[in-house]
Structure 1
């Protein structure tokens, strides 16, 4: 292979074209673009060239190839782990054919290897794979706990285990760079590893690859790069957001551009955050400077996940199917299975009736207590014949067709969104599946006034501090993300603002019932509550955009 191709991501592209995506997905393989690998290698070699470099998830060795490009005459010790035989053989041939046979590629599971070996350079794009389905998960959990004292959640992805073990093997004076899904910085299972980085004082940079910058062709998850350094001197990390490869190249060159105007990289250095808080880089770069008057949403009620059936194709029925199987209305529950079925901030009985008449699947089987009904018995037999009783969730329930106990929530909120969450008053009192979370207010809470605030852009911007970011602009809230999110303390609103807010919200509800655009009313609500909170619209754009020189 020509040297120019060896020092590129062409080997990965060729390999991916020959091996089915299903096989690579099973292994959690998502190859890193060469430009990103080069940036990460420059971080690791920026202070001094390491003597021993590790890639725990080798693939075809793109990180070590990027590091070897322009390497001094005396090459360091290079070690890689690759569990897949086909990938390892391809990588060995690639390095041998290009004169780098000295690379020590171990065909083994990095997580099962000894923890004592140290490296002063580590580069890694760990496999992205659900942990619960792994056969050796108990061994991995115990190994992490034995060496670090960390009891990892079984909700953690496999890449968390790679990150923890690699950090443990980073030698004093060494540097490491990891590219990871950004979601773990905002997830509960990421708290222990964040605490580990803070306790050891090794975190130097958190670089978010923004919504418009999708480096991986096969994934939708927003990515981040962690730059670590194990030195005696600790310092607050820099929070950086990049939107294009050109900006990443500017950072790799020492955060300066030789020709043309300098690129301004959004960055901020903050006091060390708590591991228990969400590390939302966007919010850290753009944070309101006055948060008096805000309280957690849990002050006013509780957000709970929607009903998870375990098999929507079985549990959901259209009106035609309900009649076909002879199911009485007592045997089904009206429900909202999809967020696009409720595009307005109010969902009424008339809206449900339109969905029912258009034969959308808005009936939820309610078989418990109705087993003697002939239609229910026949429908359950159909489910057993189709294997619905053996699905992941249903097989652990007794009886298998039992629904989770979720009374209809008076207020719904979308789980996923792109343009901001949507709060929907559930006037139809329907059940909701997991496309929505349900909000259950505390007794005495003025739900109308709370909703009047929640539908505003002001609320959206502040809530965004707790959301999880995925690729292509997709955002997600888990129930506790919202329970812990800050909202306006409506109990402190003066009477004039309360009355005006309720009037505007009532008018917007009337409009939504008739599917009439009420954006002008929402804008007025936004101005009203922004004034009350004493935060102008510009206060939500506070941040620092400056050029940083050097590492």
Structure 2
């Protein structure tokens, strides 16, 4: 075990040391069972007994003995839950305990049917303890979940125990166990550590690419065992892979994967450990391949002391400066390659695609580029392929083969999957897919040594077919700035009902487009603003001139309000609103208010000619603003536009074309989830067409096409047809081909 990291593991949680390998089902050749098809048991009948038992456990947790309370806090910390043990946390732990009982009972029954254990007695805890001793199987080891289950009556536990044969009927237990866990543990309580179930199709793709018959496979962050489950569950026993070493910090995850792999007849050893503490000598034999869906946890969600030490450790191991913002999955990839993969061995990683574009991803890209042959990056369109249930992310499969430093790398295939397609087709694309569009997506073949780690690799999935070096930048035609911060959105952004309630005069207000997402389509008119006002959206920005009777400092005014000495004079409605806002809104803690000449007036900025969203999942919209509405810092604005209306619309038509959107994606980077976005400097430097260099007919056609695009969007019409026309005009009337 790594001496450098063994103590760091203890800083996160109190866990048992790495469990010794336990006897488990040994795979052997088997014959397909005639007539047996894939069977799932994922339905409400599996949830109901779990929820029923959890409902009896949860009230007991609030009054549990102090020693159990302490263990519960440690458990909550380990699983990314609140250590204050609030009601929501207690409900989650109660669900986990009920799932644990079901899995242990199922695993026990499997061994009983093979005459390895006696029939399960009424005292399930004693039976599980005996199984742990007799079999040496760490999945039966006790944790705090066993303590809290013992606080319930046996009749309540029997509701779950009696369901132990249900999972045994499943031919895809890893999928069903993962489904059950997601069904009873709300997404927000799995989000911190990024715990999301891998779809069977994606698991099959990763495993079949990384492994071959006879491989010993390492599955760090094993979860329910989806990635390392045999590919052919309708066979009595499977030889794919030959053996699995499953690693997870959570005792419950170890139990889930052990149960699933045992039911499938997959030879395996479970290891309850922090993956970073695991070294090759801790395993029975060296592994030949790695499949991993590591936690998606962001660096900010990890304990600072732990993250700092892990970061320092891998900087020392890799010799690369690693950003402290790196997510947890990056360190999994560092450790997998440096500690476990030998030259010629493969690994498949399932992660978000963010690292390809972010600054923190530079170190990881440099590491993979220098130590591996990167065979492919496979990106899945979230609208078509739901790789993870309820996960708000764009999925990336990274396929690598360890190589010697002296070996020359080959090509990387950037594969975009945007339609339903079988895994075999994707595997063929990874192996020798040819450059260009396919029926289901796109393949871009790039020489690995030509890629700079500092570049945005996400753009390689959407190669731009034009040279933009000769195009002017957007800043040549306008100024580009982010909207001003109001400091306290709920106070300064008012709906009509607020204005009416207080009787605030219009002279103290400015029109507002709160954020781009409230605008449907590509233009914003006075009628749109009026409709938003009628729907009681926040369409007013509090924007008064100096009020002599109101102190410039919010702290001074707050003191007057508290003392009851501030009294409305003129503009009673406005004064009443300010009074209530300070009395109820805790405005003294808003630093932006301290930097203003008058705390009650946001920094003034004219209405932008174009409103630009800086984050998007698919299309970035440039919204023509036909009103006097201002924006806040939730959007960018184009100001001081030097183009006339037709020329500006021609540029907007280009920006909403497929070519324009590809150019935008070239400069955009990854944000949270599957969002991408760009900074204000990126927007200023965005290459665009120069309408002043085009003939009048082309400009007029593009401007007319943009008007048609706006109309089609409002009428739920055929925007794709309009875009096609824009493409035709661009190809005919410009140098863009």
User: Does TM, normalized by the shorter one, top 0.5?
Assistant: yes
Question: Could you tell me how far apart the structure 1 residues matched to 2:501 and 2:271 are?
Answer: 61
State the SS of the aligned residue for 1:237. Answer: strand
**Are 1:297 and 1:485, in contact at CA under 8 Å, matched by a contact in 2?**
yes
User: What is the aligned partner in structure 2 of residue 294 from structure 1?
Assistant: 471
What does residue 446 of structure 2 align with? Answer: 270
Structure 1 residues 40-439: aligned runs within 5 Å: 40-46=206-212, 50-51=215-216, 53-66=217-230, 72=239, 75-76=242-243, 78-80=245-247, 82-95=248-261, 102-108=268-274, 110-111=275-276, 120-136=288-304, 137-148=307-318, 150-153=320-323, 156-173=326-343, 174-210=345-381, 211-232=383-404, 233=407, 234-243=409-418, 246-252=421-427, 266-272=442-448, 273-275=451-453, 276-284=455-463, 287-288=464-465, 291=468, 293-298=470-475, 300=477, 303-306=480-483, 312-329=489-506, 332-339=509-516, 341-343=518-520, 345-349=522-526, 351-356=528-533, 358-365=535-542, 372=551, 374-384=575-585, 394=590, 398=594, 408-415=607-614, 420-433=619-632, 436-439=635-638
CA distance in 1, matches of 2:379, 2:630: 37
Aligned equivalent of 1:541: none
Superposed displacement of residue 3, structure 1 = 8.7
Between structures 1 and 2, the one with greater helix share: 2
- 2 CA distance for matches of 1:402 and 1:151? 45
Question: Which of 183, 187, 198 lines up with 1:32 in the alignment?
Answer: 198
Between the aligned partners of 2:445 and 2:374, the Cα distance in structure 1 is 12
Whole-angstrom distance in 2 between the partners of 1:125 and 1:530: 44
Is residue 478 of structure 1 aligned with residue 678 of structure 2?
A: yes
- Whole-Å separation in 2 of the counterparts to 1:72 and 1:98: 11
Q: Among 657, 662, 666, which residue is 1:464 paired with?
A: 662
Deviation digits for residues 470-500 of structure 1 (CA, Å, limit 9, x no counterpart): 99x9864333554454322445x14x34x75
Quick one: structure 1 residues 352 and 488, their matched pair in 2 at CA, closer, same or farther if it must change by over 3 Å? same
Q: How far does residue 352 in structure 1 lie from its aligned partner after superposition? A: 3.2
Taking the aligned partners of 1:474 and 1:27, their CA distance within structure 2 comes to 17
Per-residue displacement from partner, 1:209-254 (whole Å, max 9, x unpaired)?
2342222221232212110111234111112233456432334478
Q: Give the Cα–Cα distance (whole angstroms) in 2 for the partners of residues 149 and 368 of structure 1.
A: 58
2:76 alignment partner in structure 1: none
Shift of 1:39: 1.7
The alpha-carbon distance between structure 1 residues 148 and 475, as it changes in their structure 2 partners (threshold 3 A), is same
Kindly tell me the number of residue pairs found equivalent between the two proteins.
Answer: 514
Q: Per the alignment, in what secondary structure is the counterpart of residue 249 of structure 2?
A: coil
Report SS of the residue matched to 1:197: helix
Q: Aligned to 1:15, what secondary structure does the other structure show?
A: helix
Shift of 1:290: 5.4
Normalised by the size of structure 2, how large is the TM-score? 0.58
More strand by share: 1
Over 3 Å counting, the alpha-carbon distance change for 1:516 and 1:289 in structure 2 is closer
Q: Among 631, 643, 647, which residue is 1:449 paired with?
A: 647
Query: CA offset at residue 336 of structure 1?
Result: 0.9
Q: Distance in 2 between matches of 1:482 and 1:207?
A: 28
Q: Taking structure 1 as reference, are residues 411 and 170 closer, same or farther at Cα in structure 2, changes over 3 Å only?
A: farther
**Cα 1:266–1:360, aligned 2, differ >3 Å: closer, same or farther?**
closer
Structure 1 SS opposite 2:289: strand
TM-score between both structures, scaled by the size of structure 1: 0.75
SS of the residue aligned with 2:299? coil
Aligned equivalents of 1:407 and 1:159: distance in 2? Answer: 44
SS at match of 2:581: helix
Whether the 8 Å contact between 1:95 and 1:103 is mirrored in structure 2 is no
Deviation at 1:340, TM superposition (A): 5.1
CA distance, structure 2, for counterparts of residue 208 and residue 511 of structure 1: 29
Contact 1:35 1:245 (8 Å CA) reproduced: no
Distance 2:240 2:330 in 1: 35
Q: SS of 2:611's equivalent?
A: strand
Quick one: structure 1 residues 271 and 462, their matched pair in 2 at CA, closer, same or farther if it must change by over 3 Å? farther
- Taking the aligned partners of 1:426 and 1:402, their CA distance within structure 2 comes to 23
Kindly indicate whether structure 1 or structure 2 has the higher relative contact order, using CA contacts under 8 Å at least 6 residues apart. 1
Q: Matched residues in 2 for 1:283 and 1:96: separation?
A: 43
CA distance in 2, matches of 1:78, 1:402: 62
Compute the displacement of 1:193 (Å).
2.0
Q: Separation in 1 of the partners of 2:422 and 2:536?
A: 50
